[in-house]
Structure 1
Amino acid sequence: MAYGQPPYPYTPPPPLRPWWQTSGARLAFIGAAAVIIAIVEALGILFMFASIAMIWISTGGLRHPWRVWQRIAATVGTLLLCLIVAGIAHPVKKKDDAKAAATPAATSVSKVPETPAPAAAPQLSDYTGKALSEARKGAEAAGYTVGNRDASSESRGVVLAANWTVCFQKVSDLADGKKGVDFSVVKEGEPCPKEDGGALPWPVMPDVVGATYNKAMADLKAAGVPLDRVKLEDVYLDTDTPTAEQAAKDGEEWHVCFQDPGKDGKVTSTTTVRLDLGKWSDASLVKKCPAAKGTTYQIPANDPDYKRPGTSTGDDDSSTSGGSTGGGAKTVNPGSFCSPAGAVGTANGKTYTCKGPGQNRWRQ
């Protein structure tokens, strides 16, 4: 064996372990991570992960000085240590604590108790166009103090709420802190004024005298006159009063001779519009209105006192427009108009009486 040569077999010395892989360095990194996380939380977290990495890394083919279970225990210990330090150094603030910190310190001056805000006004429906009785009931149920007055300029007393209609409503604040509502009303069927306290805008009558029935009704409707207020009358003694349907059917033959109210007369809720009609066509003998209502016959022969040309009668009651019979009874035209009611006449050997229904005619 040569001098200075190690004895056989020769075992080389183990390689030197880097300082950062020593147990002391690993423990020092764990402690440093805990200290740094207490000062700067974000930087400390980075050091914590670096320490955990150092616990597991072993380079250069060197055997790790710690067993696996030791490394697991070291990893868990590092996490717990850093979490505990972070929780102590950087506690999570509660919302209440944050609000308290933002609130300035209370002074020694006592605070005046705050007056509670008034409660919001209850919802009130719109009762315009509704009956006052319904409006009062709904407003009182909503907690309002209710008042009412005449919406027109006539300052009438409001009696029987069901017979009045709401035109305007106004909400107000009362002295006791409550809410009040005033309803301005008109009688049922009356038009509302343009403004509270104004005049009632009643429609006025147009001039329809001389117009046909169809034209007259169109003019009344255009003027705002309710057509259900119109009442028809006849002007001749021998003409029956037509119904609205009959007049409309022959609307170009019926003519208005008289009207009430007259032109520009107001048509209120109690006004009845009267139209006195006469009927004629191109074939009629009379084609104009009489001078007065109910004074003449449209067909002259229907007049009981009518005398046909070329005939003469005596002064006794047996004289008629058709002559007389030997028995003294009047000779009459069956079906023609007559007067007075109850008079008796004959025609073709038969007896006829002046009677209704409707206009008196000679009837059996």
Structure 2
Amino acid sequence: MPAEAVTVHPAVEPRLLRSFVAAAEELHFTRAAARLYVAQQALSRDIRRLERELGCALFVRTTRQVSLTADGARLLPYARRVLQAQEELLTAFGRGGRPAGGVPRRPLLVDVNSPGLVGGRILARARELAPDDELMTRFESGLTGAAAEILAGRLDVSFGRYAGLDPAVRARLEQQPVRYEPMAVVLPADHRLAARDEVPLAALAGETVYAGAGNPRTPEWTDLARLLFEGRGIALAPPAPLAVGVEEFQRIMAKSRTPVLAVVDFPAMPGAVIRPLVDPVPLSPVSLVWRRELAHPGLEALRRAAGELAAGEGWLRRPAGGWIPAIDALVMAGRT
């Protein structure tokens, strides 16, 4: 049967399609139920009802795995379009806080990367702009890892270096440039460069600097460091286990004494100092990133908050002589 012949019965409720899409994307009913904040029994009941109304099986379920039937695979793009249209309709008519039927709109899951960074400030302002929506914080620590979660439907929004993502991944996402964030270096408090107010890049020659090499969630950051260090005599530290938590970070830095590449807003760490990098000022390009089909009033609030803060604080003004890779300049300008 051709795809054009598939029709949805007029009685089909958007909730049933939402349950189907979550199950189809997760291929795991427990994870799909958790994603929708419903009991697994309720999700299974919705799927069975949808199958009855459409008159076909949508999933093949065994004790080991869940997979889509041919009819399920055919339905998926239609269901996504119906849900997207519903989201756009509700947003257009100011129904952002309460979708049809009085059921509270699902929370928007927002990854701010790490505490204290630019994403957290934007999220705080967005909550002021959209007090009726629930914007929930997540910490993924890197845009590559967050993008995978966004495309899997387990996360909605993140922040980071958009140009560092694979082009095939970028094709499924949208972005809004937020800030050219000056970069810095975190040093042990007794490091030879710690007494300086600023650290010229040339002063790091001969040093080995950690920039997340080997962390599968942050290759976009490691690549930015590689481009920055190239030709400057700065070595990229080899892969190492990620230090999680302030105490562990402090212990590892005291033991290894390896400087860490960061941004100027990186939170203060005991036993370490943060020094801006200069001559030239290297810039970390930060974008707000979301799934292409996402429509949610919380996203609109985030975009508005990002625009307000960027305009008010000059976040998108590049300092004279500031360093940024050519591909990032093009992406931030919307040229690729």
TM-score under structure 2 normalisation? 0.22
User: As a proportion of its length, which structure holds more helix?
Assistant: 2
Greater C-alpha Rg: 1
TM-score under structure 1 normalisation? 0.20
